[in-house]
Structure 1
């Protein structure tokens, strides 16, 4: 086993005009969150006016997960932020301050936080921060977009209601599947998580579901707010097929190996232990097979020890956590992507792999089956190690089939997971939410 560490705008006529504030635009700091010493400047909407197109929107994105913490929600929020900014809109991120710190931009505001007892790398925001609330009010936000129903989600809701602005909520996570992180009776935590997240969704002006299965679950729970299916997008200019030999040289991998890749957190709910068990069988059938694991988490040390004690210790490489913008070479270096999680709302890494022309073997679970087309872009299988191993072996031993699946995977990514589609669809949801608030002021 080897381990390496990485290093005044025209507004669309369909959007209602709101009454102009009687007070002048206040002065706020452009640097925020991490204590940067940026000078004060006056924020004016003309500073973000697109040269053409509709009036730019000022959005406040409230998230409990953000850089430097790695995960799908962090990636989704950052992808949306960059996409909105590219269009000339103004996106502010409100997130907890993490112990590891981060090089924040001028529109990132950090809430004070405490480390989570059961996950020290994760920060729990302290949502009652009067100075930040005053800053938000001065920003004169158009739309509040909450990415969680807890902690900073209710903070966004409170501010939205006080300012009579719309609240949009993205239901990123199957919260009941994370009950093991809370030190109480699991069944109770699962029930409370479902009830609270459903109630939060029902109270939003519009809801975004990353997949059809999440939309259907929310509808089944009685959520009557408008629900739009908007998968998190992928930057197809960065995540694309590339030179496998060059990528392997960059990562220190043997060009003769047949590389099976996993990217994601090494936490219980991701079921990476099943991948290790499955790979023991794969290694016995495919002589040059190598498993490459990118990421880390609460089970990282345990998984590395388990791999080190096994018969496949020399055929498993742990690359550790890598910055998101370096992930494309990991996908480009691989022959097949494998994913065993059954707790997903979308399975964003599956979309990233597809964008890089990489076929996938994944568990036939919610979310994943909306990214992987069984028999076309990959294989969906049962979650047991035997089923995973059989599917992986079948794809690895048929190079022609594998190449065709990779080509089709890229086509699906271009058609369905382009980040520009995410931005378009999200802006449409913002418009729906604004219209609802204008027609039914709270």
Structure 2
């Protein structure tokens, strides 16, 4: 098949959607498909060395500098018809998603979309004067989904939410974003303990993600403060960057934990994988995840998880033997108790670690996910063929 993937985010931007798009493209190409990626140009200075990627002029989003708003006015538009695309797959409802919808109508090609993000919880990035209400946001999501020929939801929980907005049940298929489990078998090259002067006997708690308010990282820092009273040989490493970084660093100083909490900033993908593999425990308290890709990646590395069980993360950790501890509410004492329990109980730790690896390989490998996506494409193409008979 000739597959067109349209996305407003892609590497070097570091987030779950970028990772998902790259994994989709690589796995589909392994299977012999031609995958063409349509994205905003990140910057004039960034040189991309990847085949079949079309970049469009873009401007920075005023309220979140890492985000781009594409202006699909490139001459590459005229090349799309010559690609003979069989299917279009968009990853968001913004500039490239709108462009994908336009091209699907123009070329009469089926359009699939993945609902990666809980946009309702990101309204705070817009100033009040242009910020939509919750109801307005839900209506926009519903209307966007109805324009698609099929909606892919990463979890059952998110599907139920979309149905509550008015999207028909049969219009949605649940396909989790997969993990490239093979990459977690590679030798560690980034030695975190050596770089940051962490002693061999000290344990590492890890958070990976964008430093935004919806991730509740301030809560995790306060939880870690409680943990450190009982567990002296432990450090918290925060991998990522974002609008909350200065505020979080100030909180660390206020709690007198500047020697125990390490901010690495954003890191290349290879280093992030190394971080998972060297951590003793992954901690996570976001309430906006459609799936929680970082949770899956940690589990793929054999690093147990203690996390808030909301939205997509609930669908992951709600399974028996998933390899993590799920908490229902944001309670500092409960989080701290579970973290300490896992760190102290060696048998429990080993069980969670083994279960985590097995769980991801069995249910969330990129091979399984991409095959399911390809089946969605094929079913839509078969419908078209039957109509033409």
Q: Which TM-score tier does this pair reach, normalised by the shorter chain? A: over 0.9
Spell out, residue by residue over 1:94-151, the C-alpha distance to the aligned partner (whole angstroms, 9 max, x if none).
1111237252412111111111111112211124x25232111121111100111121
Q: Are 1:304 and 2:249 matched, yes or no?
A: yes
Q: Decide which moves more: 417-426 or 195-204.
A: 195-204
**2:359 aligned partner:** 412
1:374 offset after TM fit, Å? Answer: 6.9
Instruction: Report SS of the residue matched to 2:246.
Output: helix
1:154 offset after TM fit, Å? Answer: 1.4
1:244 offset after TM fit, Å? Answer: 11
Contact 1:180–1:186 under 8 Å retained in 2: no
Instruction: Report SS of the residue matched to 2:317.
Output: coil
Contact 1:260–1:292 under 8 Å retained in 2: yes
Q: 1:439 to 1:71 in 2, by over 3 A?
A: same
Spell out, residue by residue over 1:378-414, the C-alpha distance to the aligned partner (whole angstroms, 9 max, x if none).
2111223333222212211212211110110111011
> 1:18-417 residue pairs with structure 2 within 5 A?
57-99=1-43, 101-127=46-72, 129=73, 131-184=75-128, 188-224=132-168, 226-240=171-185, 248-249=193-194, 252-373=197-318, 376=321, 377-381=323-327, 382-417=329-364
1:239 offset after TM fit, Å? Answer: 2.0
Contact 1:146–1:156 under 8 Å retained in 2: yes
Contact 1:167–1:433 under 8 Å retained in 2: no
Q: 1:81 to 1:271 in 2, by over 3 A?
A: same
In structure 2, what is the Cα distance between the partners aligned to 1:243 and 1:137? 44
Spell out, residue by residue over 1:246-265, the C-alpha distance to the aligned partner (whole angstroms, 9 max, x if none).
66446653221111111111
Spell out, residue by residue over 1:220-271, the C-alpha distance to the aligned partner (whole angstroms, 9 max, x if none).
3332353221111111111249779966446653221111111111111111
Task: Return the TM-score normalized by structure 2.
Answer: 0.93
In structure 2, what is the Cα distance between the partners aligned to 1:149 and 1:118? 18
Task: Return the TM-score normalized by structure 1.
Answer: 0.82
Contact 2:138–2:165 under 8 Å retained in 1: no
Whose radius of gyration is greater, 1 or 2? 1
**1:37 aligned partner:** none
Spell out, residue by residue over 1:7-31, the C-alpha distance to the aligned partner (whole angstroms, 9 max, x if none).
xxxxxxxxxxxxxxxxxxxxxxxxx
Q: 1:334 to 1:155 in 2, by over 3 A?
A: same
1:186 offset after TM fit, Å? Answer: 8.3
Contact 1:247–1:332 under 8 Å retained in 2: no
1:89 offset after TM fit, Å? Answer: 0.9
Q: Decide which moves more: 66-75 or 95-104.
A: 95-104
5+ long unaligned stretches in structure 2: none
**1:424 aligned partner:** 371
Poorly superposed stretches of 4+, deviation over 6 Å = 241-247
Contact 1:171–1:210 under 8 Å retained in 2: yes
> Structure 1 or 2: larger helix share?
2
Contact 1:182–1:189 under 8 Å retained in 2: no
1:323 offset after TM fit, Å? Answer: 1.1
Task: Please tell me the root mean square deviation across aligned C-alpha atoms, in Å.
Answer: 2.2
